[in-house]
Amino acid sequence: MKPTSSDTAQTSFLLPDLEKQLDPRSLLYRLAQAIDWKGFEKTFGSLYSTEGRPALPIRRMVGLLMLKSLRNLSDEEVVEFWSESAYAQYFCGEKEMNWGLPCDPSELTHFRKRIGTDGAERILASTIDLHGEKAKEKEVVVDTTVQEKNITFPTDTKLAAKIVRGGVKLANKHGVKLRQSFERTVPKLLAAQRGRRTKGGAAAARKAARRLKTIAGQVVRQLDTGLSAETKDRRWLETAVRVLNQKRNDGDKIYSLHEPEVYCMSKGKEHKKYEFGAKASVVVGKNNGVILGAYSLPKNDYDGHALEPTLEQVERVSGYRPAVAIGDKGFRGKTHCGTTEIVTPNRPKKNATAYEKRKAKARFRRRAAIEPRIGHLKSDFRLGRNFLKGQVGDAINLLLAAAASNLSLWMRQVLFALVSAIQNLARECRTFRSPVPA
């Protein structure tokens, strides 16, 4: 059933309102008053049925998602933070202090599934609107990064062991009789892998790896015979067959059984040669620094192929299309994308004037400012490791991280304006101070 609006909630005459108790100078307090919460209730209200038990307030759920990325918290941690912080409760639309939990942490998972990628884009659009028209700059900076998935480093041995253990659980679930459970065999074969880099243990490790793959094949074949064709677990079985059949140099390989969409990327980093997850394209305003677009690529495509869907998202979210997009050398080969000009570092023309050279140099110096912004997305706003499932989870996590970055930027700008006003007032007081008589 559709949730009730937070404005119509009944208050108690015994407790004063949070709005009167809290410090109005708090940044989270000001942010709560600046966001268009009515727009969320209008947009997401159509996703609920008119029958059944009343749902949780939309403002509370959206506020929890914002606080989760803004404070770099998990679902369980943000629910606990809400119950401990009066400012967090006011941000989520509460009229008075509550002592219980706002919801079960799993409710956030259900809400993310309900709103989907379109809902996450709506949240990002609201954070762009906070900055007004100055966020819609003519020139933007675009770059790509990797959003790593919460999976272990994949090896053939690990995947084979997971197939065996997962297959045994699947057989117990559906009542399929296996010839052997391999509960003692698998740990011994995995222990043999510790000597792979030693002179005496390399041959034994290779032999153990071959044995693990043979056992995994036996389990898969027995499950294939015992499972019915209608069961949903057939998808897991098909994934396991693909893992066992893939070769070293195959393309479109599977690196995780529970996240088969994950792909491998080599970004040329010295400290991390390979990364496993999804590529993300980020668009940032050249001067103001507002994130205008954040697009998660379903495949490991060339950076230039991500430009069109990313700019379409910018137009969909912020309501305009940039005239110029500045990128690094990874976007070479693209000069235009629709009506947007793509500018990449290149040697100046022979007839270029000194002014044109200085302007191009300043452009690409400013382009480098997107790198620390991406670093903050990873370290501060949950982009460093994605715990949400599937490609939809990749897109939602990226969009919420971008929204949190815009909220943090707005709060810093408000704080800077407040400090500047105090400094100007103090300067005026010193200027007009009357002289002390001798």
**Residue-level pLDDT at 335:** 85
Judgement on whether residues 270 and 394 belong to the same structural domain of the protein: yes
Residue 3 exposed, middle or buried by CB count within 10 Å (0-12, 13-18, 19+): middle
Identify the pLDDT of residue 388. 95
Nearest to 2 by CA among 40, 84, 39, 57: 57
- Contact indicator for 429, 421 with CB cutoff of 8 Å: no
Same domain, 86 and 173: no
What does residue 283 show for φ and ψ, rounded to 5 degrees?
-120, 125
Element (H or E) spanning 60, and its range?
helix 58-70
| Co-location of 296 and 386 in the same domain | yes
CB contact set of 236 (below 8 Å; sequence gap of 6+) = 166, 170, 257
pLDDT computed for residue 167 by the predictor: 93
Q: Examine residue 198 and state whether it is found in any structural domain, yes or no.
A: yes
Rounded (10°) CA dihedral 273, 276, 281, 287:
-50
Cα dihedral 179→181→187→192 (10° resolution): 10
Q: Please report, for the domain that includes residue 346, its CATH number.
A: 3.30.420
Half-sphere exposure of 28 toward its Cβ, with a 13 Å CA cutoff?
21
CA distances from 39 to 27, 55, 119 (A): 21, 18, 12
- Contact by Cβ (8 Å): 311, 337: yes
Q: What is the pTM of this model?
A: 0.91
- Residue 129 resides in a domain: no
CA dihedral for 225, 229, 232, 235, sign (positive or negative): positive
Judgement on whether residues 145 and 289 belong to the same structural domain of the protein: yes
Tell how far CA 431 is from the center of its chain: 50
Mark which of 254, 280, 306 sits at the end of a domain.
254
Residue 423 lies in a domain: no
- Asked, for residue 112, whether it belongs to a domain, the answer is no
So what's the pLDDT on residue 65? Answer: 96
Residues 144 and 161 occupy one common structural domain = no
Examine the domain organization and report whether 141 and 290 are in the same domain: yes
Residue-level pLDDT, tens digit, the chain, 438 residues: 778 776 665 555 566 788 888 999 899 999 999 999 999 999 999 999 888 888 999 999 999 999 999 999 999 999 999 999 999 999 999 998 888 999 999 999 999 999 999 999 999 999 999 999 999 999 999 999 999 999 999 999 999 999 999 999 999 999 999 999 899 999 999 999 998 888 889 999 999 999 999 999 999 999 999 888 778 888 999 999 999 999 988 888 999 999 999 999 988 778 888 999 999 999 999 999 999 999 999 999 888 888 999 999 999 999 999 999 999 888 888 888 889 999 888 888 888 888 888 888 888 888 888 999 999 999 999 999 999 999 999 999 999 999 999 999 999 999 998 888 888 888 888 776 655 555
- What CA–CA distance (Å, rounded) separates 381 from 373? 11
Q: Is residue 206 part of a domain?
A: yes
- The parent domain of residue 309 ranges over 137-151+264-403
Query: Residue 10's pLDDT is what?
Result: 56
Is residue 98 within 8 A of residue 11, CB to CB? The reply is no
d(CA 130, CA 261): 35
State the pairing for strand pair 291-296/324-326: unpaired
Distance linking the first and last C-alpha atoms of the chain: 77
Q: Are residues 298 and 363 in the same domain?
A: yes
Helix residue ranges per DSSP H, 192-232: 202-226
Count CB neighbours of 267 within 10 A.
13
Q: Which two tokens stand for residue 192?
A: 């043999």
> Measured between alpha carbons, how far is 123 from 59 in angstroms, rounded to an integer?
11
Instruction: Give pLDDT, residue 51.
Output: 85
Q: How many residues does the chain have?
A: 438
Q: Domain check: are 287 and 144 in the same one? A: yes
Q: Are residues 146 and 87 in the same domain?
A: no
Q: Are residues 241 and 301 in the same domain?
A: no
Residue 410 counted as domain residue: no
Integer Cα distance of 62 and 52 in angstroms? 21
pLDDT at 203: 93
Buried b (16+ CB within 10 A) or exposed e, 186-197: beebbebbeeee
Residue 418, in any domain of the structure: no
Tell me: do 208 and 294 sit in the same domain. no
Same domain, 141 and 182: no
Per-residue CA distances from 433 to 197, 203, 317, 421 (Å) = 77, 86, 51, 18
DSSP state at residue 294 = E
> Residue 401: which H helix or E strand, with range?
helix 390-431
List the structure tokens of 286.
């050249």
DSSP 22: S
In a domain, 124, yes or no: no
Output the CA torsion sign for 142, 143, 149, 150.
negative
Q: Residue 404, SS3?
A: helix
Contacts for 84 with CB less than 8 Å, ≥ 6 apart: none
Total count of domains within the chain: 3
Rounded Cα distance between 377 and 69, Å, is 10
